[in-house]
Amino acid sequence: MSILTVSADHRHLEQEGKPFFWLADTIWSAFTNITLEDWAYYLKRRREQGFTVLQINTLAQWDRGESPLPWAPFALAEDGFPDYSQPQQDYFDHARQMCRMARAEGFTLALVVLWSNQVPGTWANHLIPRFAIPRDQLTGVLTKIYDSFDEFEPVYVISGDTDFPTEEANEYYQAAFDLLAQRGFAGLKTMHLRGRLTDIPDQFARQMDFYIYQSGHNSSGQATTYLAAEVLSNREPRRPVINSEPCYEQMGYSHNLYGRFGRFAIRRAAWQSLLSGACAGVTYGAHGVWNWVSAGLRPTLALGEAFDAPQPHQAALHFPGAWDYGFAREVFDTYGIGTLVPCQERVAHTSPEIRIAKTPDESLCLIYLPVNTQLTLNGDFSGRSVRAYDLASRRTAWLTPTFQEGVTTLPMHPFEEDVLLILR
């Protein structure tokens, strides 16, 4: 399996010269929490669903579920926090075995190097400062990570859930980039941003091969799905863009607000991202899988953004939204879509939640319609076939467009939930 590359138009990813759709699953806490038997089952299921990438933290995820397993990347000091001078080889051997199994199933690994709680001055480290890696031990930690995982040709995600608050924090991230360059690493590199953040320092944007953002789990911030895509797809230097952390299925709203993101909400997040400039792919997350919560054990070791309790992984792995995300990859593969260009000016409607994009040659036009309505488009689309995909059930219907006085009208579709319209 060859490493991923960036397309010549800097809009999508490729593998062996063909478009590669980044359909990732969020499994940050895999290396500490999952038995090899559970891992084998997990890989089989996600492969069946069409996933291509696994997003994993190389070190211990701070808000993972409690685990009876012995895996920890570093010995613990007397205060119970990691002693970063004492790596535990058993942990890295176990993680490497998991990587071999994932690669054998055809997955690309996206491995986080430094989660924000381990970097001084970040929002997460302010909550529990003792997690910070001492500066004089940083090179040793980075070297251990790269020595352990380079052979699997991963995408390195230099930062996790990061902001850029101080020069000290930025120095940690730069050290991670610099060491990769010194080692001659040829794979892709990126940074995972804190929720709703789009302001990347030029220093790092120049070193990233693609931009990823998270629209996240804040119930009032879901417009970030398309707003962040618009910002990052238009910034320089131009890079492919991915929403690598939309709202997770059955995640409670952040800051312990009452409510959860259901199947419709996560579908909406995916398609609004894909049609607004973040067309290189999308990441799924199931609440209970990303933190790998086991029945009967504490759901989390640290609160982080304070989410409501998850289902155990035995149930969360089977949430239906994972199949919906697999369908997004199927659409891109079936229609041979590599790049989509937003064309929002075509929608004669006041709601920005309706998103529209076209292929560069304009042979296809895709529209995400979250709520049923008669839709008016600026321009003549009357000569095109219009197929409506009911995203909840996969039923399809053919619609007949009409053109008059400079606008095309698409009638209401016959379904009850959100649809993807493909004009061909």
Q: Splitting the chain (424 residues) into consecutive groups of 10 residues, what average pLDDT does each group show? A: 90 96 98 98 98 98 93 95 97 98 98 98 94 98 98 97 96 98 97 96 98 97 98 97 98 93 98 98 98 87 74 97 98 97 94 97 97 96 96 97 96 98 98
Considering the entire predicted model, what is its pTM? 0.97
pLDDT at 163: 93
Q: Where are the alpha helices (DSSP H) in 62-205?
A: 89-104, 123-127, 138-149, 167-182, 202-205
pLDDT number for residue 277:
98
Structural domains of the chain, ranges and CATH numbers in brackets:
5-334 (3.20.20.80), 343-423 (2.60.40)
3-state SS, 8-46, equals: CCCCCEEECCEEECEEEEECCCHHHHCCHHHHHHHHHHH
pLDDT of residue 100: 98
Q: Is 44 left (phi over 0), alpha (psi -120 to 50) or beta?
A: alpha
Say what the pLDDT of residue 171 is: 98
What gap in Å lies between CA 347 and CA 375, rounded to an integer?
A: 8
The reported pLDDT for the residue numbered 349 is 82
Token output for 57: 């933290």
What local confidence, expressed as pLDDT, does residue 298 receive? 80
